[in-house]
Amino acid sequence: MIAQCEESWTQAQTQTVTAGTAGDCKWAGIVELYLGCLGWAALSPGILLAFLAAAHYLIGRRAVSSPSPRTLLPFAPFMAGGALVAVFASQ
């Protein structure tokens, strides 16, 4: 019983995907801090555009192919794009 639990634990640990975790959190802090310094006129659209871009990408990707539910998406490119559009739109 213990050997079976250890085997399943080891198997679960080797299948863990780490993309889209710590790097995205660090990048989110940097981007939102910068947008926050520019004010609400840049912060709100920057966050909203990032989520909308990621949602559109995932819907399109789901329509073209059928990715597994465990597929992780790096969110940093969408945050960067949303921040760039928000910065240029707010000025």
Each residue's pLDDT tens digit, 38-54:
999 999 999 999 999 99
pLDDT at residue 9 in the model: 47
Its domain, for residue 58, covers 21-90
The encoded tokens of residue 65 equal 């192919």
pLDDT at residue 26 in the model: 86
Task: Give the residue from 78, 26, 24 showing the smallest Cα distance to 48.
Answer: 78
38: in domain: yes
8: in domain: no
pLDDT at residue 59 in the model: 87
Per-residue pLDDT of the chain (91 residues; tens, 9 = 90+): 455 445 554 554 454 444 556 788 888 889 989 999 999 999 999 999 999 999 999 888 888 887 676 777 888 999 999 999 999 998 7
The structural domain count of the chain equals 1
